[in-house]
């Protein structure tokens, strides 16, 4: 795997206005912390950050952070996005030790087609899209896959059922629901009702449908008034 080097600038000014100026200049303000070291405020190039996080590893990409010439291994701990433009407005990096396991969220991917479920007009619902695992930085998997091809109605997959690579342990609840089956729900459009139309009721106070109403009208018209 190629080393992902991300150069940081530690000379940025703190505060809302300086951070806005940084973003307009194509920089993302952030902070580097962890491993007992002090927190360092930094800025990184937005394009370089995006490039580093668009590999198969995604947000779990192992980065080499260049902080004032000192290279440190790190991971993205948190990304903050603009609520409208969805651009990254702040990034938190956490220092990591190559020989010490860290807890990260790894995405879960469903693979295959559950034919037996589809044949019963069912679907496989994914309840969790990530699970927490413990692994050394170099052993963090890009994703965890679940083969759903053998699932039948009533089956469930829980976090403890996932097959984890060597050197990776589950960090969360093994009973956490990851995938389950359910009957497909079909939405039926309700017929439009003319609110201005008069509704006729039967003896039990229930609305009479059009055909019934017509039959009753015909029956009433055929009755002999003299009787």
pLDDT digits (tens, 9 = 90+) for 125-135: 999 999 999 99
Q: What is the pLDDT of residue 12?
A: 85
Distances (CA, A) of 83 to 18, 28, 58, 92, 193: 20, 16, 21, 18, 40
- Nearest-5° angle of CA 54, CA 75, CA 3? 65
Examine the pLDDT at 215 and tell me if it is beyond 80: no
Mean pLDDT over residues 207-219, rounded? Answer: 55
Mean pLDDT over residues 65-81, rounded? Answer: 91
Whole-angstrom Cα distance, residue 60 to residue 74? Answer: 10
Mean pLDDT over residues 2-15, rounded? Answer: 85
Whole-angstrom Cα distance, residue 216 to residue 199? Answer: 14
Hey, is 46 helix, strand or coil? helix
Give the number of other Cβ atoms within 10 Å of residue 163's Cβ: 9
Mean pLDDT over residues 82-104, rounded? Answer: 92
Residue range 26-35, pLDDT digits in tens = 999 999 999 8
Is the separation of the CB atoms in 148 and 116 below 8 Å?
no
List the one residue out of 31, 32, 12 whose CA is nearest residue 23. Answer: 12
């Amino acid at each position: 795997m190629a080393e992902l080097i991300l150069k940081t600038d530690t000379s940025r000014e703190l505060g809302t206005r300086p951070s806005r100026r940084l973003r307009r200049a194509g920089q993302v303000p952030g902070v580097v912390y962890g491993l007992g070291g002090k927190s360092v405020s930094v800025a990184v190039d937005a394009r370089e950050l995006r490039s580093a996080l668009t590999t198969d590893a995604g947000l779990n990409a192992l980065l080499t952070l260049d902080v004032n010439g000192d290279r440190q291994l790190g991971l993205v701990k948190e990304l903050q996005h603009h609520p409208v433009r969805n651009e990254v407005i702040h990034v938190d990096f956490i220092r990591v030790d190559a020989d010490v396991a860290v807890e990260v969220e790894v995405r879960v991917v469903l693979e295959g087609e559950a034919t037996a479920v589809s044949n019963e007009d069912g679907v496989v619902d994914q309840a969790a899209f990530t699970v927490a695992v413990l692994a050394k930085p170099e052993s963090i998997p890009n994703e965890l896959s679940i083969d759903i091809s053998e699932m039948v109605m009533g089956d469930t997959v829980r976090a403890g059922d996932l097959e984890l690579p060597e050197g990776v342990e589950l960090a969360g609840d093994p009973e956490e629901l990851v995938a389950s089956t359910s009957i497909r729900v079909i939405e039926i459009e309700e017929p439009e009702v003319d609110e201005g139309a008069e509704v006729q009721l039967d003896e039990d106070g229930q609305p009479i449908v059009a055909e019934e109403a017509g039959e009753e009208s015909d029956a009433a018209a055929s009755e002999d008034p003299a009787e």
